[in-house]
Amino acid sequence: METIQLSVLDAAGQPRLAGGPAGHVSLTYTAAYQPGDRIALTVSAPGQYCVIQLEDTMPPALVYLQKQAVYFTIPFGEQAIVYSPKSFVGALHVLRARFATPAEVAARQNLAFNPYDQHGDTGFYPHASANVETRGESVFAARNAIDGVFENTSHGQYPYQSWGINRDPAAALTLAFGRTVCLDELRLTLRGDYPHDNYWVRAEVEFSGGETMTLPLTNSLEPQCFPLATPIRAQWLVLKELKQAEGPSPFPALTQLEAYGVNEQA
């Protein structure tokens, strides 16, 4: 039987609370988090689809664990302002993790969604990274583009976090799936804090198999949808060659990137 273990670890890696191993784990942590605390999720074997909810003010997400043990660092200070001010605070936290059902794994879904993504090699997917993030600030990090928060009429801390490109015309965002998926549609929601913001009129997407597509964009505040003429198998994609519109503002940004399709079944 495959099992999950869920733990809250202190800065030294010692467990404050642990649950499992089991097929479904729920923890109630009745203390305030401290800087350096991490949540550890361990499965009996890597290569598992799990549904996780690492903070009860945030939505559950279906993620793919490429590693046997993965970690989520509790955000503090500047790192915390991209989350709801209700999240990770106080002395009562409910954490949940379970294996995804076959139906959940097989369903058509947004394969980019992961509100628990963080910088670095997290070991679980989807994962967003970029070659530039404005001033290295959390409110402009690549992970903001896959967190499921669509508010885009301002910029800065929650709920207006976005991927910011620091005015770099060579900026590119990589979305890694950690396994092979079959994509049939992309959606981009641009940040539209006009007139502070500008927007892109065109973007290019490159897929891991070598396929490319051009996305014509407008200044719409709504998600802009791009069905793929033929489904594409991919392990990752790169959003790049971002062409900015004419105008006085040098600040285009991305609020959400969605990638719809299905997980490729073995």
Rg (Cα) of the chain, in Å, rounded?
A: 19
Q: How far apart are CA 58 and CA 116, in angstroms?
A: 9
Report how far Cα 107 is from the mean position of its chain's Cα atoms: 19
| Tens digits of residue pLDDT in 18-46 | 999 998 999 999 999 999 999 999 999 99
Q: How far apart are CA 67 and CA 264, in angstroms?
A: 19
Q: What is the mean pLDDT of the chain?
A: 97
First to last CA, the chain: 19
Per-residue pLDDT band for 168 (boundaries 50, 70, 90) equals: very high
Q: Where are the beta strands (DSSP E) in 191-244?
A: 200-207, 212-216, 224-244
Query: What is the number of residues in the chain?
Result: 266
DSSP string, 94-144: EEEEEEPPHHHHHS-EETT--TT--SS--SEESEEEES--GGG-GGG-GGG
H or E, element range at 61: strand 61-65
The candidate with the shortest Cα–Cα distance to 35, out of 5, 80, 69, is: 80
Q: Please give the average per-residue pLDDT across 121-134, as a whole number.
A: 97
The candidate with the shortest Cα–Cα distance to 197, out of 170, 174, 217, 215, is: 217
Instruction: Flag whether pLDDT at 266 surpasses 60.
Output: no
Does the model's pTM come out above 0.85? yes
**Residue 129 Cα distances to 75, 191, 238, angstroms:** 18, 18, 10
| Tens digits of residue pLDDT in 78-102 | 999 999 999 999 999 999 999 999 9
| Tens digits of residue pLDDT in 101-123 | 999 999 999 999 999 999 999 99
Instruction: Flag whether pLDDT at 183 surpasses 60.
Output: yes
